[in-house]
Amino acid sequence: MDNAPRMKAVAGSRIIGTGSALPQRAVGNEELVAELAQRGVHTSDAWIVERTGIRQRYLAEPGLTTAGLGARAARSALEAAAVTADSIDLIVLASSTADQIFPSTACLIQAELGIRGGAAFDVQAVCSGFVYGLAVADALLRTGAHRRALVIGSELFSRILDWNDRTTCVLFGDGAGAVVLEASDRPGLLAQRLHADGSRARILCTAGRVDQGKIEGDPFLRMDGQAVFKVAVEVLEASAREVLEAGGLTVSQLDWLIPHQANIRILTATARRLGLPAERMIVTVDRHGNTSAASVPLALDWGVRCGMIRTGHSVLLQGVGGGLTWGSVLVRM
């Protein structure tokens, strides 16, 4: 007879702590505009604010790594959850700016946190990465094979920006956010739906790769902003409706909407289409810029630490980005 301990499936998982980390240097629009002008790249605070709502972003100092920033966010989430690193048996990192080709940056974070055992891997879904990671971690916790996970979004997008391309370099910033997710018979993750459409990969990509020791293709982020804008507004509305229905909630029962923080115009259009009052949406794009996979957990942690998001609140987390990928997770905090 098999005496091995059996995995006991659980009903779901819940978030027991949130955290975040930012590089030291906050760069306001005026400072960035002046730096870009020295390169002959012309933009203005007025254009950036009017078209995007961004007022500042954080930019990493040389030597800072995606793993280092992610580990800081993870420590802040562990502290908020009042649990120790050695109780973590799963690390899922969402990032498009991995420190190395391999091993995964999740493994580097595991080592930095001094965690031994369990599983660690990266999820690559660009700006939808955190939402993808949360859904994947929830599915693993439900099996009973893992008990407590760190789900992290950590990005150093400043490293893949073309600082001579004003259509992209003013939009993005660096940062990391994290949650501790625990297996629970009182599920906090109520519903999730993930989507991808690879036929639209070209409208937002960093297409370069390393081949025989050389960079082949374009190593910088490129985006057809208008094409992405149109898709983002459509899929965020559709995805919100789909997941609210799956979770048995109406828009009026939703306490907080946290869409991927790319552009204030996308956020307000999404809230308007859903009939959700703008005051029930968390907005951090003004202070962080677009931090890709870090944007949703950064905004979640900001909302929690400001006292806006509280235990028992329903929160809809939404990602959309390169792939194209999009998806939503409905959470009861």
* Cβ-based nearer residue to ligand UT7, 329 or 333: 329
Active-site pick, 107, 127, 169, 205: 127
Instruction: Tally Cβ neighbours within 10 Å of residue 310.
Output: 11
DSSP string, 169-190: HTTB-EEEEEEEEEEESS-SEE
Active-site pick, 169, 205, 288, 290: 290
- Binding part of the chain for ligand UT7, among 102-110, 130-138, 165-173, 281-289 by CB under 6 A, reads 165-173
Cα 172 from Cα 57, distance rounded (Å):
7
> Which residues 43-72 are close enough to bind ligand UT7 by CB under 6 A?
43, 47, 51-52
195 is catalytic: no
232 touches ligand UT7 (CB under 6 A):
yes
* Cβ-based nearer residue to ligand UT7, 38 or 226: 226
Task: Candidates 148, 166, 193, 287: give the one binding ligand UT7 (CB under 6 A).
Answer: 166
Angle at 17 between CA 12 and CA 20, to 5 degrees: 125
Q: How far is CA 243 from the centre of its chain?
A: 18
Q: Is 152 helix (H, G, I), strand (E, B) or coil?
A: strand
Task: Candidates 183, 228, 235, 331: give the one binding ligand UT7 (CB under 6 A).
Answer: 228
Q: According to DSSP H, which parts of 144-294 are helical?
A: 166-169, 225-247, 264-274, 285-288
- Binding part of the chain for ligand UT7, among 90-98, 101-109, 245-253, 262-270 by CB under 6 A, reads 262-270
170 touches ligand UT7 (CB under 6 A):
yes
Residue 150 preceded by cis peptide, ω within 30: no
* Cβ-based nearer residue to ligand UT7, 100 or 167: 167
What are the angstrom distances between the C-alpha of 45 and each of 29, 198, 229? Answer: 5, 34, 21
> Which residues 265-304 are close enough to bind ligand UT7 by CB under 6 A?
266, 290
Q: Kindly determine how many residues on this chain lie close enough to bind ligand UT7 according to the rule CB under 6 A.
A: 20
Q: How far is CA 85 from the centre of its chain?
A: 21
* Cβ-based nearer residue to ligand UT7, 200 or 241: 200
Q: According to DSSP H, which parts of 55-119 are helical?
A: 66-81, 105-112
The minimum distance between CB 256 and ligand UT7, in angstroms, equals 20
Task: Candidates 107, 152, 176, 262: give the one binding ligand UT7 (CB under 6 A).
Answer: 262
Cα 98 from Cα 70, distance rounded (Å):
11
260 is catalytic: yes
Active-site pick, 146, 169, 260, 288: 260
Q: How far is CA 309 from the centre of its chain?
A: 17
Cα 141 from Cα 330, distance rounded (Å):
17
* Cβ-based nearer residue to ligand UT7, 56 or 184: 56
Active site residues: 127, 260, 290
**Which residues are near ligand UT7 by CB under 6 A?**
43, 47, 51-52, 127, 166-167, 170, 204, 225-226, 228-229, 232, 262-263, 266, 290, 320-321
